Amino acid sequence: MKLTDTKMAEQMRYPYTMSAKLLRFPWKYHWANARFLRYLTYAIIIASPVYVKIHKFANQPGNWAKWNTIRAKREHTHFDPVKP
Protein backbone atom coordinates (compact mmCIF):
# COMPACT_ATOMS: atom_id res chain seq x y z
CA MET A 1 0.00 0.00 0.00
CA LYS A 2 1.46 3.31 -1.08
CA LEU A 3 0.84 6.72 0.37
CA THR A 4 -0.76 7.79 -2.90
CA ASP A 5 -3.29 4.96 -2.64
CA THR A 6 -4.91 6.38 0.49
CA LYS A 7 -7.36 9.21 0.13
CA MET A 8 -6.29 12.28 2.08
CA ALA A 9 -8.80 14.53 3.79
CA GLU A 10 -9.68 17.64 1.84
CA GLN A 11 -8.58 20.89 3.41
CA MET A 12 -11.44 23.02 4.73
CA ARG A 13 -12.34 26.06 2.67
CA TYR A 14 -12.85 28.09 5.81
CA PRO A 15 -11.30 27.07 9.13
CA TYR A 16 -14.19 27.07 11.61
CA THR A 17 -12.41 25.93 14.75
CA MET A 18 -9.89 28.02 16.64
CA SER A 19 -7.18 25.37 16.29
CA ALA A 20 -7.71 25.27 12.52
CA LYS A 21 -7.47 29.07 12.38
CA LEU A 22 -4.20 28.99 14.33
CA LEU A 23 -2.79 26.34 12.02
CA ARG A 24 -3.73 28.29 8.89
CA PHE A 25 -2.43 31.64 10.19
CA PRO A 26 0.67 32.83 8.28
CA TRP A 27 3.02 32.96 11.29
CA LYS A 28 6.24 33.15 9.26
CA TYR A 29 5.00 36.10 7.21
CA HIS A 30 3.85 38.05 10.26
CA TRP A 31 7.08 37.33 12.16
CA ALA A 32 9.10 38.67 9.23
CA ASN A 33 6.93 41.70 8.42
CA ALA A 34 5.09 42.76 11.57
CA ARG A 35 7.10 44.34 14.37
CA PHE A 36 4.29 44.00 16.88
CA LEU A 37 4.44 40.20 17.03
CA ARG A 38 8.22 40.17 17.48
CA TYR A 39 8.24 42.97 20.06
CA LEU A 40 5.36 41.40 22.00
CA THR A 41 7.21 38.07 22.13
CA TYR A 42 10.44 39.71 23.27
CA ALA A 43 8.63 41.83 25.86
CA ILE A 44 6.90 38.79 27.37
CA ILE A 45 10.20 36.92 27.58
CA ILE A 46 12.01 39.86 29.18
CA ALA A 47 9.21 40.94 31.55
CA SER A 48 8.20 37.51 32.87
CA PRO A 49 11.08 37.16 35.38
CA VAL A 50 10.37 40.68 36.67
CA TYR A 51 6.71 39.82 37.26
CA VAL A 52 7.67 36.58 39.01
CA LYS A 53 10.00 38.48 41.39
CA ILE A 54 7.28 41.06 42.15
CA HIS A 55 4.78 38.26 42.78
CA LYS A 56 7.14 36.47 45.17
CA PHE A 57 7.91 39.71 47.04
CA ALA A 58 4.26 40.75 47.33
CA ASN A 59 3.08 37.37 48.64
CA GLN A 60 5.53 36.93 51.51
CA PRO A 61 3.97 36.18 54.93
CA GLY A 62 5.21 39.45 56.44
CA ASN A 63 3.61 41.45 53.67
CA TRP A 64 0.33 39.55 54.10
CA ALA A 65 0.30 40.33 57.82
CA LYS A 66 0.96 44.02 57.17
CA TRP A 67 -1.86 44.29 54.65
CA ASN A 68 -4.26 42.36 56.89
CA THR A 69 -3.73 44.96 59.64
CA ILE A 70 -4.26 47.78 57.14
CA ARG A 71 -7.46 46.17 55.85
CA ALA A 72 -8.72 45.50 59.39
CA LYS A 73 -8.82 49.26 60.00
CA ARG A 74 -11.18 49.66 57.04
CA GLU A 75 -13.71 47.06 58.25
CA HIS A 76 -16.25 49.39 59.80
CA THR A 77 -19.34 51.30 58.79
CA HIS A 78 -19.87 54.99 59.38
CA PHE A 79 -22.54 54.17 61.96
CA ASP A 80 -20.14 52.27 64.25
CA PRO A 81 -18.86 54.01 67.37
CA VAL A 82 -15.36 55.44 67.13
CA LYS A 83 -12.60 53.04 68.22
CA PRO A 84 -9.81 54.52 70.33
Domain assignment of residue 58, yes or no: yes
pLDDT of residue 84: 66
Residue 38: name the closest of 24, 28, 50, 52 by CA: 28
Percent of the chain with pLDDT over 90: 61
Structurally, the chain folds into a number of domains equal to 1
The answer to whether residue 63 is domain-embedded is yes
With respect to residue 72, please indicate whether it lies within any of the assigned structural domains: yes
| Whole-number Cα distances in Å, 26 to 9, 20, 22, 34, 43 | 21, 12, 9, 11, 21
Assigned domain for 66 exists:
yes
State the residue range of the domain holding 70.
Answer: 49-77
The pLDDT score that the predictor gives to residue 15 is 85
> Is a pLDDT exceeding 70 seen at residue 63?
yes
Q: Is the pLDDT of residue 82 over 80?
A: no
- Of the given ranges (9-13, 17-21, 37-41, 45-49), which has the lowest mean pLDDT? 9-13
Q: What pTM was computed for the model?
A: 0.56
In a domain, 70, yes or no: yes
Residue 16 lies in a domain: no
